[in-house]
Amino acid sequence: MTIQELYAIFKNCRGVATDSRKITGGELFFALKGENFDGNEYALKALEAGAEYAVISTGSALALRLDQTDSKTASRLIPVEDTLRTLQDLARWHRSMTFAGGKPIPVIGLTGTNGKTTTKELIKAVLSLRFKVSATEGNLNNSIGVPLTLLGIGPESEIAIVEMGASHPGDIKELVSVCLPNYGLITNVGKAHLLGFGSFEGVKKAKGELYDYIQRTADKVFINADDRELCRMAEERPDLQLIPYGVEYQGAKILDTDNEHPYLRLELPDENILIETHLIGTYNAANVMAALAVGSHFGIRHAEAAKAIESYIPTNNRSQMVRSKDNTLIIDAYNANPTSMEAAIDNFCRIKAENKTMMLGDMLELGTESSREHLKIISRAMQSDASKVFLVGEEFGKAASQADMSASIPQIMLFRTSAELADHLASDRIKGSTILIKGSRGTRMETVLGNL
């Protein structure tokens, strides 16, 4: 079956599904394979649940006995050599066949070590003032999530924002070949997924695959002109067309926080604009400036964009401030790496509050650099103004055994898991504190929230 023929089938279906348990009726089901699952085993269940068709692997047991399957069911099974590749091909075709104003829909491809999702949401909020925007939902930013995002672009959409994650070399190259972005934006490059990338240079090379693609297509890149690493990466690609932005570059001013103004505030003196966000952390200033730059390029004035940014309230444990019955919680527990962890601690130290406590979970996938990077974070925590520091996970435990914490001013306690810390907090309650909670997804630091 050609991709054009499959696309005709897709157009008559009610979207795409990859989980047979989430079939609502009328979908085109793709039987994907992973390390611990084989969607081919659930293709018939998907059809029984209401899927119109199921795309299966030619080498699967189901495909091999297709001639023994009743004709009605067999007609709804579509064997292909590689179901994931076919999903990506279909998404690329749909992206190319979706138009706005008589032209293929513009796509903004976004990646980076930190701040991808927050930046995406801020850009979406700004562009939604004038356009019907399709954007990545949740964490659908990998080899499966990106095509699902593209296939979710409806005929009414006028612009799309596609977030792309990466943990290995070649990941971004693969994803840009699917989403075919007209614009690129790398939020930053930092120390993350070092186990997969091998080194910080590996991170830059992998993220730079977005710049490489945009350079070939002669399209444009939004670039933080304050970020030396990004600027160096751009200089290595001399023909890259740049749309610069930045706090320093644009003369913006980050205002101090206090009890009455705990969130990030930015002032654009030249335009007499004050932006009062609902984001915690000065590290989010660059994300705000990125949203302003994208909005401006698409004809949205800074004054309008500022209001949209102010209306955005973060969720999913990203740069959130929550006031519980007993404490003020700064929740940035969706993920962590050395770059974002250091930024979070530095920002926490700038907050004026009494009885400050840090709860830090392991930073995962750092490979041979793990012990050294965790030790650096412990050292930074020991120099902070926190009265208590709770460390969670095996990596922090290994690093702590190498650290001299005998003279540490903060009280430092170690826990193997976030569940163990939660149990401790249930019996030894903390009250009247400002608490930073951060860790990699795998440490599930949100587990402690119910006891704070």
Mean pLDDT of the chain: 92
**Quick check: is 438 in a domain?**
yes
- Cβ atoms of 280 and 263 within 8 Å: the answer is yes
pLDDT at 357: 94
Structurally, the chain folds into a number of domains equal to: 3
* Mean pLDDT for the stretch of residues 172-196: 89
pLDDT at 306: 97
CA–CA separation, 95 vs 406, rounded Å? 59
Q: Based on the fold, state whether residues 304 and 357 are members of the same structural domain.
A: no
Given this model, what pLDDT does residue 424 score?
96
Percent of the chain residues past pLDDT 90, beyond the cut? 72
The average pLDDT across 197-210 equals 86
> What pLDDT is stored for residue 210 in this prediction?
96
Mean pLDDT score, 181-197:
85
Q: Are residues 165 and 24 in the same domain?
A: no
Residues 152 and 256 in one domain: yes
List, for residues 10-23, the tens digit of each pLDDT value: 999 999 999 999 99
- Is 88 a domain residue? no
pLDDT for 191: 75
User: Domain for residue 107, yes or no?
Assistant: yes
Same domain, 166 and 69: no
For 70, the token pair is 């009743």
Query: Would you say residue 138 has pLDDT above 90?
Result: no
If asked whether residues 136 and 276 sit together in one domain, one would say: yes
Phi, psi values for residue 392, rounded to 5°: -125, 130
Given 311, 333, 352, which residue is the final one in a domain?
A: 311
Question: Has residue 408 got a pLDDT over 70?
Answer: no
Domain membership flag for residue 72: yes
Residues 25 and 108 in one domain: no
Q: Give the span between the Cα atoms of 347 and 385, in whole angstroms.
A: 12
Average pLDDT over residues 94-99: 95
Q: Output the domain CATH number for residue 354.
A: 3.90.190.20
Residues 280 and 428 in one domain: no
Mean pLDDT of 254-277: 90
**pLDDT, average across residues 365-390:** 90
**Do residues 114 and 283 make contact, with C-beta atoms less than 8 angstroms apart?**
yes
What is the per-residue pLDDT across 289-337, written as a single tens digit (0 to 9) for each?
A: 999 999 999 999 999 999 999 999 987 777 788 889 999 999 988 888 8
CATH of the domain at 75: 3.40.1390.10
**What is the Cα Rg of the chain in Å?**
24
Of 56, 81, 106, the residue at which a domain comes to its end is: 81
Owner of token pair 């997804």: 441
Instruction: Determine the pLDDT at residue 406.
Output: 64
Give the residue-averaged pLDDT of 70-90: 94
**Is 289 within 8 Å of 224 (Cβ atoms)?**
yes
- The whole-number pLDDT of residue 244 equals 97
Boundary residue ending a domain (277, 311, 345):
311
Question: Cα(57)–Cα(63) distance, rounded to whole angstroms?
Answer: 7
- Global pTM reads 0.88
Q: What is the dihedral of CA 110, 116, 118, 122, to 10 degrees?
A: -10
CA gap 224, 170 in Å, rounded = 23
Q: Does residue 158 share a domain with residue 13? A: no
pLDDT grade for 409, boundaries at 50, 70 and 90? low
Cα distance between residue 298 and residue 285, in whole Å: 20
Distances, alpha carbon 47 to alpha carbons 164, 295, 327, in Å: 31, 43, 50
Do both 126 and 195 map to the same domain? yes
> Cα(293)–Cα(64) distance, rounded to whole angstroms?
53
Which pLDDT score, from 0 to 100, does residue 316 have? 73
Does residue 41 sit in the same domain as residue 179?
A: no
Poorest-confidence range of 35-44, 192-201, 369-378? 192-201
What is the Cα–Cα distance from 423 to 345, expressed in whole angstroms?
24
Q: So what's the pLDDT on residue 200? A: 80
- CATH number for the domain spanning 203: value is 3.40.1190.10
Cα angle, residue 324 at apex, residues 256 and 277 outer, rounded to 5°: 35
- The answer to the question of residue 69 being in a domain is yes
Domain-embedded: residue 225: yes
224 is in which domain, residue-wise?
Answer: 98-311
List the 220-224 sheet strands across, edge first: 133-135, 159-163, 107-111, 183-186, 220-224, 241-245
Tokens representing residue 363 in the block: 């930073």
Residues 123, 241 within the same domain: yes
* β-pair type (133-135, 159-163): parallel
231 and 114 share one domain: yes
Kindly tell me the sign of the dihedral angle through the C-alpha atoms of 197, 199, 201, 204: positive
Question: Is residue 378 one of the residues assigned to a domain?
Answer: yes
400 lies in a domain? yes
Contact 140, 19 (CB under 8 A): no
